[in-house]
């Protein structure tokens, strides 16, 4: 299938514009046109901007440097900058009369311009070839192409993996169905580092390096690295690159658990910042700006600040002032954009963390773009980036047998985001708006708006909501979230993303279709019509405040410790645990916030919270608690271990 690639030519010289469009149009007919280049004109700045915004198939804009616009100085340059602010993935060419004009453009907008054509050299087939080559370069998938080529070469495999391109499975009476289920190409493309022409993820110098360079350009990074172990591993790699034992780190206590694991691995000294909480809906929001700025002021010796933006529920920080404050003290900023990898490709979602000045950004490309699960990217813009150290830690965490289909999927996901991300996201936004209205019209369910979601303490912080993440209040429907999830799943074949005691979350992506929206609406309408009697939602007990650290998390984690039961013989919270130092990270799920991290002192409120959770919800997952004879036990430091810890002094 040939795509459509529109080229917009902007000039108020009507005769010349017609000549250019006719010349390029004729070249498109005469020459090979694999990208489906078509040409259209615009005479004014506003007209051009409107078309770029309205037509997701516009790929290239040619701007006549002679463009006039009443009341606007240097309209061509202005237009170039405004188009890039809107859609940075587009290619821009300037049509010049002389070299003076070129100098001016280079001074004012060279960073956004891809090339120049001179008006007195109207070699339209030459221009056409250059524009085609531009699209070929942008839409290239060097790794995926090489992988396909290799599979087509049908080499005999005398190397790993053991299924040998699927030959061990094919035709088997017992497991042949797996071959059919997964598909031949997937198995033939499951290759290994034994194939040099496919480059190496751990030392990329060929097609993987090329694919990563294209991704860096697309996402606005100096360097991009593909990770096949998810953002979980990407976060740990960055922590181990930036932090040495004892280094101070500012972090949102509500960060993903991989961040907390990174604290243990790096030996960093964490300063936990409490995130805001929306108690009505059981949703954790961003850390208040005031808390962040105060922490930056109070800990100018911190090496790193890490934030999650946007959150799982779609709340995103006004990052620029925070990054500026951190950089003012020489603190590096890492942003976990696990849920926001598409943001670069539509202005509604921008600025991205990189655009806001972050030094390191991790993205689960698989969560919100078309990559396979586990396929993530690490973007780097740190001016003091130590590539050697990064490579060492990357290789420490990465498998020496990465899954090649995952790498190909990152290459393809980047191409898609660049070539059609804007158009697809525009559609997703429309579907999200439509679904919002439809759910609200059921009467029983309501999509929460930013004002509903924002915890009070962050109301004035400039936080915005990603409209593709829909949090639906179900508290007036008469359903519990468990009942609703079950009804959607069993009766209507619908699986939602997550839930709290009074909400469900729906994640819309570029893969959401109008049919899915319609089926979901239909299901919710039918469920609303059941008119169940209202019920009082069972609230989660409130997560207790952070107590204090007695030592570095890493030190506590690596001690042997002793195991004390959570409840005493009478089933009450075990008073012997109060004042003891926890060795593990204890995370009840949901809500998934660590109630204790290694090195943290257990106080009465934490103990009674854990005991209450255990009694109230036996089926609840309690990550970090060990089980002995069917009872939960907590691993804590013995007094001798605590006294012997060298880092303890930092916390006394
Ligand atoms: C904020 C955040 N960071 C990181 C991760 C880990 O991402 P991955 O699943 O790609 O390992 C998640 C996963 O849910 C997350 O929510």
Q: Which of the four pLDDT bands, split at 50, 70 and 90, describes residue 590?
A: low
Q: What is the DSSP letter of 600?
A: B
Distance between CA atoms of residues 246 and 248, nearest Å = 6
Alpha carbon 163 to chain centroid, angstroms:
33
Would you state the pLDDT for residue 44?
93
pLDDT digit string, tens, across residues 626-641: 888 888 999 999 999 9
Would you state the pLDDT for residue 458?
96
CB 60 within 8 A of CB 93: yes
CA of 274 to the centre of ligand 1 (A): 19
Would you state the pLDDT for residue 79?
94
Would you state the pLDDT for residue 287?
96
CB of 228 closer than 6 angstroms to any ligand 1 atom: no
pLDDT digit string, tens, across residues 373-385: 999 999 999 999 9
Would you state the pLDDT for residue 242?
98
Would you state the pLDDT for residue 548?
92
CB of 157 closer than 6 angstroms to any ligand 1 atom: no
Q: Is the pLDDT of residue 33 over 70?
A: yes
Would you state the pLDDT for residue 618?
63
Q: Is the pLDDT of residue 122 over 70?
A: yes
CB of 375 closer than 6 angstroms to any ligand 1 atom: no
The residue that leads in pLDDT, 150 or 66, is 150
**Mean pLDDT value of segment 228-244:** 97
CA of 418 to the centre of ligand 1 (A): 23
In 3-state terms, what secondary structure has residue 485?
Answer: helix
Would you state the pLDDT for residue 98?
82
Candidate of 285, 338, 589 to mutate for ligand 1, largest count of ligand atoms within 8 Å of Cβ: 338
Tokens (6 digits) for 494 = 């619908």
CB 191 within 8 A of CB 152: no
φ, ψ of residue 9 in degrees (nearest 5): -110, 125
The ligand 1 atom at the shortest distance from the C-alpha of residue 366 is 10
With a pLDDT cut of 70, the percent of the chain lying above it is 97
CA of 236 to the centre of ligand 1 (A): 12
The ligand 1 atom at the shortest distance from the C-alpha of residue 312 is 16
**Mean pLDDT value of segment 497-519:** 94
Q: Report the mean per-residue pLDDT for the chain.
A: 94
The residue that leads in pLDDT, 451 or 99, is 451
Q: Is the pLDDT of residue 283 over 90?
A: no
CA of 380 to the centre of ligand 1 (A): 18
The ligand 1 atom at the shortest distance from the C-alpha of residue 234 is 11
**Mean pLDDT value of segment 559-574:** 94
CA of 565 to the centre of ligand 1 (A): 31
With a pLDDT cut of 90, the percent of the chain lying above it is 83
- Of 67-71, 120-124, 423-427, the one with minimum mean pLDDT is 67-71
The position carrying tokens 């499951």 is 190
CB 135 within 8 A of CB 59: yes
CB of 376 closer than 6 angstroms to any ligand 1 atom: yes
**Mean pLDDT value of segment 466-471:** 97
**DSSP secondary structure letters along 364-415:** -HHHHSSPPTT-EEEEE--TT--HHHHHHHHHHHS-SS--HHHHHHHHHHHH
Tokens (6 digits) for 197 = 């022409």
Q: Is the pLDDT of residue 192 over 70?
A: yes
CA of 379 to the centre of ligand 1 (A): 15
**Mean pLDDT value of segment 214-236:** 97
Q: Is the pLDDT of residue 652 over 80?
A: no
The ligand 1 atom at the shortest distance from the C-alpha of residue 311 is 1
Would you state the pLDDT for residue 649?
61
**DSSP secondary structure letters along 522-579:** HHHHHHHHT-PPP----PPPPPPPP--BSS-HHHHHHS--EEEESB-TTSSB-GGGTT
Which residue's CA lies nearest to atom 9 of ligand 1? 230
Candidate of 232, 307, 312, 406 to mutate for ligand 1, largest count of ligand atoms within 8 Å of Cβ: 232
Would you state the pLDDT for residue 540?
67
Would you state the pLDDT for residue 648?
64
Number of residues assigned to the chain: 652
Candidate of 256, 257, 505 to mutate for ligand 1, largest count of ligand atoms within 8 Å of Cβ: 256
CB 157 within 8 A of CB 165: yes
The ligand 1 atom at the shortest distance from the C-alpha of residue 374 is 10
Domains annotated for the chain, with CATH where assigned, are 5-138 (3.40.50.2300), 144-185 (no CATH), 194-418 (3.40.640.10), 421-529 (3.90.1150.10), 553-651 (3.90.100.10)
CB of 338 closer than 6 angstroms to any ligand 1 atom: yes
The ligand 1 atom at the shortest distance from the C-alpha of residue 308 is 1
CA of 222 to the centre of ligand 1 (A): 23
Which residue's CA lies nearest to atom 7 of ligand 1? 231
The ligand 1 atom at the shortest distance from the C-alpha of residue 232 is 11
CB of 600 closer than 6 angstroms to any ligand 1 atom: no
CB of 254 closer than 6 angstroms to any ligand 1 atom: no
pLDDT digit string, tens, across residues 77-114: 999 999 999 999 999 999 998 877 777 777 777 678 99
pLDDT digit string, tens, across residues 593-608: 789 999 999 999 999 9
pLDDT digit string, tens, across residues 248-273: 999 998 899 899 999 999 999 999 99
**Of the candidates 23, 17, 10, 22, the residue with the CA atom closest to the CA atom of residue 65:** 10
Number of helices (H), then strands (E), in the chain: 22, 25
CB of 336 closer than 6 angstroms to any ligand 1 atom: yes
**Which DSSP helix (H) or strand (E) runs through 67?**
none
């Amino acid at each position: 299938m040939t795509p459509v690639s529109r080229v917009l030519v902007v000039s108020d010289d009507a005769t010349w514009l017609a000549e250019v469009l006719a010349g390029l149009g004729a070249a498109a007919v005469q020459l090979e046109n694999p990208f489906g280049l078509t040409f259209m004109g615009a005479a004014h700045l506003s007209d051009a901007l409107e078309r770029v915004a309205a037509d997701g198939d516009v790929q290239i804009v040619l701007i006549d440097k002679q463009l006039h616009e009443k009341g606007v100085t240097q309209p061509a340059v202005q237009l170039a900058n405004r188009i890039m602010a809107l859609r940075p993935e587009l290619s821009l060419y300037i049509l010049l009369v002389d070299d003076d004009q070129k100098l001016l453009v280079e001074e004012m907008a060279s960073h956004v311009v891809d090339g120049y054509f001179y008006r007195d050299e109207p070699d339209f087939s030459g221009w056409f070839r250059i524009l085609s080559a531009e699209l070929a370069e942008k839409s290239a998938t060097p790794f995926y192409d090489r992988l396909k080529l290799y599979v087509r070469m049908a080499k005999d495999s005398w190397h790993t993996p053991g299924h040998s391109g699927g030959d061990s499975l094919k035709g088997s009476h017992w497991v042949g169905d797996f071959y059919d289920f997964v598909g031949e190409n997937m198995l033939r493309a499951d290759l290994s580092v034994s194939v040099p022409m496919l480059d190496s993820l751990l030392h990329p110098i060929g097609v993987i390096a090329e694919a990563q360079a294209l991704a860096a350009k697309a996402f606005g990074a100096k360097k991009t690295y593909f990770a096949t172990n998810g953002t979980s591993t990407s976060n740990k790699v960055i922590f181990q690159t930036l932090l040495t034992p004892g280094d101070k780190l500012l972090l949102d206590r509500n960060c993903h658990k991989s961040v907390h694991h990174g604290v243990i691995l790096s030996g960093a000294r964490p300063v936990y910042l409490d995130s805001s909480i929306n108690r009505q809906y059981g949703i954790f929001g961003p850390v208040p700006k005031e808390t962040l700025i105060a922490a930056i002021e109070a800990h100018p010796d911190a090496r790193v600040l890490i934030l999650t933006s946007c959150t799982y529920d779609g709340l995103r920080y006004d990052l620029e002032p925070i990054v500026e404050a951190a950089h003012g003290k020489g603190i590096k900023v890492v942003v976990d954009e696990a849920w926001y990898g598409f943001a670069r490709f539509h202005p509604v979602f921008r600025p991205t963390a990189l655009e806001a000045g972050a030094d390191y950004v991790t993205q689960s490309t698989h969560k919100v773009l078309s990559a396979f699960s586990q396929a993530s990217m690490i973007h780097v813009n740190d001016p003091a980036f130590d590539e050697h150290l990064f490579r060492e830690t990357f290789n420490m965490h990465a498998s020496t047998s990465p899954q090649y289909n995952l790498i190909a999927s990152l290459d393809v996901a980047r191409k898609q985001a660049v070539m059609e991300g804007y158009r697809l996201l525009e559609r997703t936004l429309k579907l999200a708006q439509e679904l919002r209205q439809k759910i609200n019209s059921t009467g029983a369910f309501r999509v929460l708006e930013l004002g509903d979601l924002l915890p009070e303490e962050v109301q004035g912080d400039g936080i915005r909501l990603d409209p593709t993440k829909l949090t639906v209040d179900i508290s007036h429907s008469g359903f519990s979230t468990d009942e609703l999830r079950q009804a959607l799943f069993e009766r209507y074949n619908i699986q939602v993303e997550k839930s709290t005691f009074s909400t469900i979350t729906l994640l819309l992506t570029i893969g959401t279709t109008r049919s899915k929206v319609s089926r979901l609406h239909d299901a919710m309408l039918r469920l609303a019509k059941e008119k169940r009697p209202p019920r009082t939602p069972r609230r989660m007990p409130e997560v207790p405040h952070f107590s204090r650290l007695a030592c570095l998390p890493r030190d506590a984690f690596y001690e042997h410790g002793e195991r004390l039961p959570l409840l005493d013989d009478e089933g009450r919270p075990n008073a012997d645990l109060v004042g003891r130092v926890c060795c593990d990270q204890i995370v009840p799920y949901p809500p998934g916030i660590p109630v204790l991290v290694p090195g943290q002192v257990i106080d009465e409120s934490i103990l009674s919270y854990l005991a209450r959770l255990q009694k109230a919800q036996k089926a609840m997952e309690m990550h970090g608690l060990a089980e002995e004879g069917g009872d939960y036990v907590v691993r804590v430091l013995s007094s001798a271990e605590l006294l012997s810890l060298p880092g303890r002094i930092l916390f006394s």
